[in-house]
Amino acid sequence: MSRPSAVQRQVRRRLAEGGAGFLLSQLGFHASTLWRRRLEPFGIGAREANLLLRVAADEGPSQRALADMLEVSTSLVVGVVDALANAQLIERRPRPDDRRIHALYLTEKGWRVAADLMKESDEHERDLCSGLRPAERTEFVELLQRLAVSHGLIPHVHPGFGDSRGKSWGRAQS
């Protein structure tokens, strides 16, 4: 069997152009990689940064609450909180009304780093969209937001994303 040319041409075109799905995945992963690179000087990973900012947005959550919000296991949260606590960016405080809970708060250093991360994030956004003109960038982000809404992806954290050396072509194609 060899080369039914109609199908082959179709496949070639699709692979060459890339559909919305493929491009979204490709760009999403690239964005992730760039973000991770920006975090290196801070000595934290993407998930540590994410957790830090979540706590900054609403202080005092329990680790359980964060695990639920981020849709991961509590045991995973422990390690991330440990890392952030070791770096003295957040601290666990006992809660008087329920001593089982370790409420999480940013340290002074944590707030400084959070502010720095927001600056970094602004640059990251500009860099990502540097191939677009200002009006196009606005339009692009709006379209992304509308798509996310239409797929029910806001305001929850997305359910997953590969790390820098995760499965290398798990979702590839279309």
Question: Does residue 101 contact residue 62 with C-beta atoms inside 8 Å?
Answer: yes
* AA letter at 84: L
**Least distance CB 63 / DNA (angstroms):** 3
Q: Is 85 in the site for its own copies (CB under 8 A)?
A: no
Q: Is 170 in the site for DNA (CB under 7 A)?
A: yes
| Helix (H), strand (E) at residue 141 | helix 134-150
**Least distance CB 74 / DNA (angstroms):** 4
Q: Identify how many contiguous H helices and E strands the chain contains and give both numbers.
A: 7, 2
Among 19, 21, 43, 166, binds DNA (CB under 7 A): 166
* Cβ count near 131 (within 10 Å): 8
Phi, psi of 97 (to 5 degrees): -75, -20
Among DNA, its own copies, none, the one that 90 touches (CB under a kind-dependent 5 to 8 A) is: none
Q: Is 86 in the site for DNA (CB under 7 A)?
A: no
| 3-class DSSP assignment, residue 168 | coil
| Residues contacting its own copies: total by CB under 8 A | 98
Q: Is 82 in the site for its own copies (CB under 8 A)?
A: no
Q: Is 74 in the site for its own copies (CB under 8 A)?
A: no
CA distance 130 to 16: 23
Among its own copies, DNA, none, the one that 81 touches (CB under a kind-dependent 5 to 8 A) is: DNA
What are residue 102's DSSP bridge partners? 94
CA distance 127 to 119: 12
Q: Is 124 in the site for its own copies (CB under 8 A)?
A: yes
Among 42, 92, 102, 107, binds its own copies (CB under 8 A): 107
Residues that bind DNA (CB under 7 A): 62-65, 72-78, 81-82, 92, 98-103, 163, 165-168, 170
